[in-house]
Structure 1
C-alpha cells in the first residue's frame, strides 16, 4: 500500500474518532496505525522511547477500543485495515480536509480586514457589534495539515474559561508558529459568524489584532524582504492596535499617553492580540512589560518566538513523520507534481519535519528543479532556507560558549548525554566539567539554556541532539573555525577510540549477544570512521575496525544484512587498499574478514567476490601467523559448503587439520577451530544423506562449542541435529531441540537464528503432515529472511508453500 493510501486511511480513522467521540488520534496512535496498515505484526510495532511491552499491551489495545467505539465494529490489529477501507468505500464523498478549509473561506468571505472597510476616524466599536474587526494576514496555504493537538491546546488556552492571558508559541525558525497562530485566529473569527459545528469549539473575540516584526519571508524562489513596515517597536505595536480599533488618535502623543489610550479602549472589547516574531523586536523588554503590566483582562495575547519559556508556553516541535508525509503528499498534489515513494521519504528525512522546508522544497520541484537537485540543496548551509531558519538565532550566540557547544554537537548524528557533550566540547583548559559547572556564573548552564531558548537543540530523556537542517548549518559553521574544528574532531576521535577499547571483545569470535551500548552509539560511530578514511587516519581506522568487527557482524543478525554491512565493506575496501601499501599482514586479515561477511550474505554474486578475496589472502598467508592460516582455511571450507561445492571441501579439511596439528594453540582456540571444522564437515555429510556421520560431526562441534561457551555454534549445531532428527523420523527429539532453540533466539532478538529455527519447524510440520503448522512456520521464517535480505532462503520456503498449494499472497 502506498504512503498516500496509508495516510488517507489514518485521516479517515481520525475523522471518524472526532465525529463519534470528540477526540482525535494522538501522534503515537497515528504512528501505530501507519505501521499496522503497512503490514507489521503486533510484535513488530515500535514507538521510539517506549518499551515493546508498553506498546503491545497498553497503547495498541487502547487504540483498538477507541476505534471500535467510534466505528461500531470490532477493531483489532488484524481487522483495522479492512474496517478503514470499508469506511472509505462507504463515504460519499470521501473526507476532504480542503472542504473544511472552504467552510472557513465561505464563513469569512464577507469579513474584510480593517484596511478595506475602516478608517482611523471610524465610529467606535460597540460591544454588541455583529462583526469582528481584524487585520489578519491571508492564509499562505489552502489547507492546514496536521497540528490538531496543538490547535486544540491553543484554542483551550484562548477560551474564557482558561485564566491564561499571555501565551507564547515557541519553536525553531520555520516550524510553523505563525501559520498555527493565524489558523487558530481564523477559527476564532469564523466562530462568531458561522453556525457550523466545526467552529463551535473556538472562542470568539470582538477584535483580533495581528502585528509582526518579521523582516523576511521565504518563498520557493527566494528570500524576500518585507516591503511594508514591520512592527519592530512598542510604539509600532501600539499604533497598529489603534488602527484596528479605529477610533484612537495617537498623533503627537507620548508613548505613555498612547498606552493609556489603547489600554482604555481595549478594556471595552474581548480582544486577541498577536505579536509575531518577538526575537526581531527592538527592546523586547518594553513589549513584554506592556503585555505584563498594561493589558486589561479583556485581552488575550499570543506571541510567537524562537525563545522558549516566555509566557505560558506552547512549544512547537517538528511535524510527526505521519503529518510530515501527509503535508508533502498534499503539497505535491496541490502543485500537480509527482514524487516517488523513495523521494517522499528522503524529503521527510532531509527536512526533518520542518514545514517551511517542505513547502520550500516542493515549490522548488514544482518550479522545474529536479528532486535530486532540491534534496541536495536543502542541506546547503548558505542557502535561503538555512539563512531563514538559523542565521538570526546563531548570530545571537556567535563567539560564545553556546556557539561552540552547537558546533560540537553537529558531529553527532545520534543523541548524546549532557556529560559526554560537554566533555568533548570544552577547550583543554576547561577539561574539568564539574569545576566549570560549579564555577561562578555557571557558564555551561547558561550556554545550554541559551541553546534551548532558541530551539536550536532537542532535549529528550536527558539526551541532546540536533534536527537534520540545524545540524547541516552547524557543520558549516564549524568549518569557519578550522582550529576549533581540528581540536574538537581530535577529541571526537579519541572518544570513539576509548569506546572501542572499553567494548572490545576479549575474543574476536565471542559473538554471543549484541552490545546495546555500541548499538545505541552506532550512528555516532559511523561518521568518525568515514572521517578517518577521508583524513587518511589508517592506524585509528584499523583499531576501530578491529574493535567493532564482532559487533558489525552481529548487527546482521537482527537487520537487513546487506544494508548493515554495505557501509562496512567500504571501510574494509579502504583498509585493504591502504594496507597493501603499508602492511600485507593487515591486508590479508581484512580480506579474510570481508570474504567471511560476503559468504554470510549467501548469494552467488557475493560468493564469487569472496572466492577472489580468499585466493588473494591465501597468497599472502606467509605474512601472517599459522593461526590466521588455519582460520582462513576453515573460512574457505565454509565458502565451498555455501557454494554447494561439497567435493572441494575435503582438501581444505585436510589442510585445516594439518595446520591444527602444526600450530600449538591455546585450548580455547583449539576447541574453537575444531568446532568449526566439524560443523562444516557435518553439513557436507548431511548433504550426502549420511545422517549418522553428520550427527557425529555436529555433536562433536556442539561439545567443543559448549566447552568454550560459543553460543553461535551451539545453536547452529542443535538446529542441524534437529534437521537430522526430522530426516530420521524422530519427531519428539526434533520438536524439543527446535522449540528450545527458538525460545532462546527470540529472547535474544536474534532474527537470523529465529529464521532458521522457524524454517526447520516448517519442515518438521510438513514431514508430520500438519499443513497448517507448516504454512504458519514457513510464513514466519520468510518474513524474517526478508528482513535480513536473504532472498535465497525466502525463495526456498516459498517453494514449500507452493507445494502445499497455499502460496504467500
Structure 2
C-alpha cells in the first residue's frame, strides 16, 4: 500500500544516530497532532530521519532504494509541515536550514529555545484566587501527564465534592501550560490556545455569602461564543447556528488547544455538549470539572490531607493578617474536613471579625453558606429516592460502615439493586466514598453534618432508621461478640465497628433505652475488657448498675456487678480492691436472683479478690463454693467444662503464688486439656503463659523460650491486650535471666505501657520495679 514504511528499506544506522541527537518522538507526535497526518508509521518518518542525518536527496534515495522524484516530492511536503508546526514563514524551510529551524524550536537534545520564540498565546483564563497553589502534587502530576501530547487521552474529567478544589487544580495546571507555551518550554505541555468556559452559577464569598453569577457558559451556544471571544474569531458567531459546530471544529483543528469546561453538572444541554467535546479533533485536549463522576479518564479529588490543609490555613491566615495558633488550626481543619473552600471561607470570616467559635458553628450548620454551597444542589436531585435514604442512613454511622449495615438502616434490604445503584449514585455525586480495600463506606465530616440535618427533617424516617440501626448492631454483637470461648476468632470483626458500637451505646443512653444498652454491653464486655482499650468501661457498668437497681432488675444487677468487680480486681489498687470487696459482699446477699452460672461467676470473683489480697485460704473456700454451684447447675458437658475450668485455673494460680510449681504445672496442664476440648483458645494461651513462668522458675530455659514464643505469637494474632502485656512481662524476665538486658528493658517498657492502658495498676508498678532492677 502506498505511503506505508514497509515498502521502504530504512537503514537501522539512521535510527540510532537520530535517537542520540534529537527528541524524535516528541517531534513526530507534535507533527501528527498539528497536521493531523500520520508520521510515526509512514514514509514521512523515514524521509525526516534522512534529513536530520544531513543526507542529500541522492543519498536518501539510494539508501531507501527509491526514485529521486518520489523522494523530492515527499521532502517538499515535509518542509511545508515543519513550517506549520514551528510557525516559520511559508516556503522558508529548506534542506539547508531544516536542522537549524528544529534546533531553534528545541527539538535537538540539550538545545535551548531561542529567546525570540517567546510568544503570547491566546487565552481567557480567569485570574488566580491564590498566591500559591498548595498540595495536590500527585493529582497535578497525573493531570499534566494526561495533557501531554504523548498521552492518548483526549478528554479528562476532574470530579469531587463541591469546594474540594477542582477548578483551582485545573486553573493551576492551565497556568503552568500557559507559561510553558509562551516560553516554548518543556516544563509543561504546550498549547497554541487555552480556552476556559464555566457554567458555575454560584460563588461562595466570605463577605457576601453565596453570590449568584449572572454570566456563564451554560449551553453549547454559550461555549461557542466564549471560544470565539477567546480566539478573537467572529466568523464562528457569524456562521448560521447549524454550521457553528463545524466552524468551531475547523478552527480548533488548526492549532493545539486546551479547552476547559468547568462545572459540567450545571450545563443545560449536557449530552449535546459532551457529544461536541467527544467529536473534537485529537489535537484538542479537553478538561471537564464536575461534582458528578463522568467515566472519561477521571481524576477524583478528595479532601486535603492534614499537612496540606494546615499549610493552606497558615497561608490564608498570613495573607489576611490573622493570628491563629496550632490548636485552633487543627480544630479548624477537623471541622472543615480538609475542604479547601471551607478553609478559605472560614479564614475570610475570621478576618471579617467573627470569632472562631462562631465560624466553627456556621460550618456545621446545615443551613450555613458552606453546607448549602457544597451539598444543596446535589442532594436536591436525589430527594425522595433510595440514594437520599442511603445518604441519611450512612450519616448515622460516625465511622465507616459496610454495605449490609447501611442497607438495613435505610430499610432497603429487600431491594439490593436499589442499594447498589443508590450507593453508586452517591459516589458519582462525591457525597460518599468507598474504600476499595476495606469495602466500607464513609463521608466527610461536613457532608455528615448536612446529611444529619436532612435526617432530622424526616422524623418518621429517622425514628425507624435509628431503630433498625440499634437492632442491626445488637444482632452483629450477638454473632461476633459475647464470651470468647469458641468465638475469639471473630473478635477481629469488632475492631472496625468500635466507633459505631460506642455511638449506639451513647445514643441509647441519651434516649434512656436501658434494655438496648444492657444487652449490647453484656455482649461487648469481654471484648472491651480483653481486646480493646475502652477507658470508659467502669462508667458504663456504673450506669447499668444504677439503672438495673432503679428498675429492680436484680438478675441483671448481679451480672453487671460481676463484670465491674472483674475490672476493679484487675486494677488491683488498694482503693479498687476495697470497692470490689464492698460490692461483692453486698451482691452475694442478692445471689438468689441470678441463675447458678452467674452465682458461680460471683463466687469466682470473690476467689480472685482473695488471691489479689493474698488470702489464699479464703480464696480456696470460695473456689469450693464455685465448684459446688457448677455441679449443682447440672450443665451439659461443654458448659460444665466451661464453668469448671476457672476452678482449676485459680487453684493452679494459688499453687504458683505459694511456690508449689509442680502442683501448679500439673493443674495448668489440666486446664489446657479441658480448654482444648471446647476450643477456649484464650484460656489455652493464658495457661501456656503460666507454664512458661513455671519453666523460668524451674530454670528450664529452652522450654520457657518455646512456650513464650508460641504464646506471644497467638496473643499478637488475636490482639488480646492483657495477654500481650503479660507475655512481654514474662519474656522480659527470660531475657534478664538468660538473654539480653537491652531486650529485657524494651519488653518491660512495652509491658508497662500495656498494663497502664488496661488500668492494671499493680502489675504496672511491679513491672516498673523490675525495670529499675535492670
Contact 2:652-2:665 at 8 Å conserved across structures:
yes
Give the unaligned 5+ runs of structure 2. Answer: 1-115
Tell whether 2:704 aligns with 1:734: yes
Tell whether 2:458 aligns with 1:481: yes
Over 3 Å counting, the alpha-carbon distance change for 1:426 and 1:589 in structure 2 is closer
- Of 221-230 and 378-387, more deviation after overlay is shown by 221-230
Over 3 Å counting, the alpha-carbon distance change for 1:579 and 1:217 in structure 2 is same
Q: What SS is found at the alignment partner of 2:234?
A: coil
Q: What SS is found at the alignment partner of 2:203?
A: strand
1:394 matched residue in structure 2: 379
Aligned pairs for 1:157-236 within 5 A = 157-193=146-182, 200-220=186-206, 223-226=209-212, 229-236=215-222
CA distances 1:271-318 after superposition (whole Å, capped 9, x unpaired): 22222112223333343343234x455432212111112533222233
Structure 1 distance, partners of 2:451, 2:550, is 37
Tell whether 2:604 aligns with 1:630: no
Structure 2 distance, partners of 1:480, 1:543, is 30
Over 3 Å counting, the alpha-carbon distance change for 1:531 and 1:279 in structure 2 is same
Over 3 Å counting, the alpha-carbon distance change for 1:480 and 1:631 in structure 2 is same
Q: What SS is found at the alignment partner of 2:396?
A: coil
Contact 1:234-1:286 at 8 Å conserved across structures:
yes
Over 3 Å counting, the alpha-carbon distance change for 1:626 and 1:167 in structure 2 is closer
Structure 2 distance, partners of 1:364, 1:259, is 45
1:498 matched residue in structure 2: 475
Structure 2 distance, partners of 1:605, 1:233, is 75
Aligned pairs for 1:592-671 within 5 A = 592-601=562-571, 610=580, 613-614=583-584, 616-642=586-612, 645-647=613-615, 650-661=617-628, 664-665=632-633, 666=635, 671=641
Contact 1:653-1:677 at 8 Å conserved across structures:
no
TM-score between the two structures when normalised by the length of structure 1: 0.71
Structure 2 distance, partners of 1:329, 1:604, is 50
Tell whether 2:391 aligns with 1:409: no
Cα deviation, residue 783, structure 1: 6.0
Equivalent of 1:306, from 286, 291, 303?
291
Structure 2 distance, partners of 1:674, 1:417, is 39
2:128 matched residue in structure 1: 139
Over 3 Å counting, the alpha-carbon distance change for 1:366 and 1:802 in structure 2 is farther
CA distances 1:561-613 after superposition (whole Å, capped 9, x unpaired): 2xx252x5554444333322321221222232133234445666655665554
Over 3 Å counting, the alpha-carbon distance change for 1:347 and 1:699 in structure 2 is farther
Tell whether 2:340 aligns with 1:355: yes
Q: What SS is found at the alignment partner of 2:188?
A: coil
Contact 2:481-2:487 at 8 Å conserved across structures:
no
Contact 1:377-1:383 at 8 Å conserved across structures:
yes
Structure 1 distance, partners of 2:360, 2:566, is 36
Q: What SS is found at the alignment partner of 1:300?
A: strand
Contact 2:409-2:469 at 8 Å conserved across structures:
yes
Structure 2 distance, partners of 1:202, 1:789, is 58
Contact 1:170-1:304 at 8 Å conserved across structures:
yes
1:548 matched residue in structure 2: 524
Contact 1:248-1:261 at 8 Å conserved across structures:
no
- Of 242-251 and 751-760, more deviation after overlay is shown by 242-251
Structure 1 distance, partners of 2:664, 2:197, is 83
Equivalent of 2:430, from 451, 455, 459?
455
Tell whether 2:442 aligns with 1:465: yes
2:66 matched residue in structure 1: none
1:581 matched residue in structure 2: 550
Contact 2:484-2:682 at 8 Å conserved across structures:
no
Cα deviation, residue 413, structure 1: 4.0
Instruction: State the aligned residue count.
Output: 652
Over 3 Å counting, the alpha-carbon distance change for 1:526 and 1:776 in structure 2 is closer
Contact 1:332-1:339 at 8 Å conserved across structures:
no
Aligned pairs for 1:308-327 within 5 A = 308-309=293-294, 311-320=296-305, 323-324=308-309, 327=312
Aligned pairs for 1:375-394 within 5 A = 377-394=362-379
Q: What SS is found at the alignment partner of 2:298?
A: strand
Over 3 Å counting, the alpha-carbon distance change for 1:592 and 1:326 in structure 2 is farther
Equivalent of 2:511, from 506, 525, 535?
535
1:58 matched residue in structure 2: none
CA RMSD of aligned residues (A): 3.8
Aligned pairs for 1:737-752 within 5 A = 737-752=707-722
Equivalent of 2:741, from 762, 771, 781?
771
Q: What SS is found at the alignment partner of 1:230?
A: coil
- Of 461-470 and 393-402, more deviation after overlay is shown by 461-470
Over 3 Å counting, the alpha-carbon distance change for 1:178 and 1:662 in structure 2 is closer
Cα deviation, residue 391, structure 1: 0.5
Contact 1:165-1:301 at 8 Å conserved across structures:
yes
Cα deviation, residue 260, structure 1: 5.7
- Of 357-366 and 309-318, more deviation after overlay is shown by 357-366
- Of 532-541 and 586-595, more deviation after overlay is shown by 532-541
Cα deviation, residue 720, structure 1: 2.9
Over 3 Å counting, the alpha-carbon distance change for 1:212 and 1:640 in structure 2 is farther
Aligned pairs for 1:226-265 within 5 A = 226=212, 229-248=215-234, 255-256=241-242, 262-265=248-251
Give the unaligned 5+ runs of structure 1. Answer: 1-126, 438-442, 805-809
Equivalent of 1:154, from 143, 147, 154?
143
Structure 2 distance, partners of 1:600, 1:271, is 72
Over 3 Å counting, the alpha-carbon distance change for 1:353 and 1:482 in structure 2 is same
Over 3 Å counting, the alpha-carbon distance change for 1:318 and 1:715 in structure 2 is same
Over 3 Å counting, the alpha-carbon distance change for 1:744 and 1:310 in structure 2 is closer
Cα deviation, residue 757, structure 1: 1.7
Over 3 Å counting, the alpha-carbon distance change for 1:250 and 1:773 in structure 2 is closer
Over 3 Å counting, the alpha-carbon distance change for 1:203 and 1:609 in structure 2 is farther
Cα deviation, residue 778, structure 1: 3.1
Structure 2 distance, partners of 1:379, 1:673, is 52
2:560 matched residue in structure 1: 590
